[in-house]
Amino acid sequence: MVDKYQPSASRRSFLAGSVGTTVIGTTTVAATVDEQRNEPPKSTAWKPAAHDLTMNDGHQLRVWERTTVDDPDEAVLFVHGMTYGGVSMFDPPLTEEFGWLRYAAAQGQATFAPDMRGYGDTELPREYRQPPKVNTPPLSFEREALDLLAVTRWLREERGFDRIHYVGLSGGTWRGRAVYTLGEPNYATVTLAGGSFDTLEVGADPKGPAYLSQVRDEFITRWNAEVPDGADTDDWIGGDEFTATAVQAAVWKAIFDTNQAIDDSPETIIAPLVRQEQTYHPTHIDDPTLVIRGSSDGIISREGALQLYDAVGSTDHQKRYVEITGGTHFIFLERKRREFFDAVRHFQTRY
């Protein structure tokens, strides 16, 4: 059974009031009982298969897997961005065909999505068990890169995959830059989705706080704010299949039903902060690389995405820039998601 930290009711309220806006082993994990809150166990039947990998400093990392064929030839390592973990971004509980993991698995790929430290169901850093102003940020891109390199070794040495694709989403593009700065992962392809070169301020204040928080309404507001003026939100996000509310409720469920939850009223999650301790230049990324962006991305500008494309170290004939019309920073969860997925898959099949 996984040792899941869940603050007691009083502890959860205190935290929410205090904050502002060598792999060793693998274990398949079932639902766990949240005894500290005296509530029924959270159902995890809708989640992918889970592996708990122990990093070289003893920290436990949760890695999700969705694979539908008996002997897949290749794996995809999906790396989430800032604030939200792997399942919520890549495999939320909406339908059996909705998420990016399910799409890739249906193409015959083995898919893996780690929850980075401080996110999802991965073991929380000890500093996150205290009020945010007590500690400085414990997380860094360097530590995250070392974890991703360890997961990559596990995929090669324990799972037997010679061919691995890297898909970095938003902050996952920065993690990919750190991976290539600190190691030689030799991915078959690299996808940098919703990332920029240097047009955003990246990295936590090293003096603290250790983390921030976000409530459900802030999550919804942030997403809806990117829908263009005059557009129908339900059509833009849900298309013909869903309402925007249904999509966002499923995604939030996957965000909140994890170790990140710190309060129930209003529903509040930890928003991790990551230190940038050195320059992680994209020139170190020398494998075939796709830079892809939704045309209405309100966080990553076209200029920033093109600067990232120009800075990637792959040769010109091994990199490509793609922009999908009609999607926000959350395009992979919106009506244009399949077009987005198809573009990434097409690039992967070229190499």
pLDDT of residue 38: 31
Residues 139-154 have pLDDT tens digits of 999 999 999 999 999 9
Q: Is the pLDDT of residue 16 over 60?
A: no
pLDDT tens-place string over residues 289-332: 999 999 999 999 999 999 999 999 999 999 999 999 999 999 99
pLDDT at site 198: 85
Q: How many other C-beta atoms are found inside a 10 Å radius of the C-beta of residue 13?
A: 16
| Percentage of the chain modeled with pLDDT above 90 | 84
User: What average pLDDT score do residues 50-71 get?
Assistant: 96
Higher local confidence (pLDDT), 42 or 304: 304
- Structure confidence by residue, pLDDT tens digits, 96-138: 999 999 999 999 999 999 999 999 999 999 999 999 999 999 9
Instruction: Report the pLDDT value the prediction gives residue 24, as an integer from 0 to 100.
Output: 34
Q: What is the pLDDT of residue 295?
A: 97
Cα separation, 70 vs 342, in Å, equals 23
Residue ranges per structural domain of the chain = 9-349
How far apart are alpha carbons 7 and 19 in whole angstroms?
Answer: 15
| Structure confidence at residue 4 as a pLDDT band (50, 70, 90) | very low
Per-residue pLDDT at 343 exceeds 90:
yes
Q: Is the pLDDT of residue 43 over 50?
A: no
State pLDDT tens for residues 225-280: 999 999 999 999 999 999 999 999 999 999 999 999 999 999 999 999 999 988 89
What's the pLDDT tens digit per position in 178-201?
A: 999 999 999 999 999 999 998 667
Q: What is the pTM of this model?
A: 0.88
The rounded mean pLDDT for the chain is: 88
316-344 b/e (C-beta count within 10 Å ≥ 16 → b): eebbbbbebebbbbbbbbbbbbeebbebb
pLDDT for 8 = 32
Show the tokens assigned to 63.
């890695």
9-349 topology per CATH = Rossmann fold (3.40.50)
The mean pLDDT of 63-84, rounded to a whole number, is 97
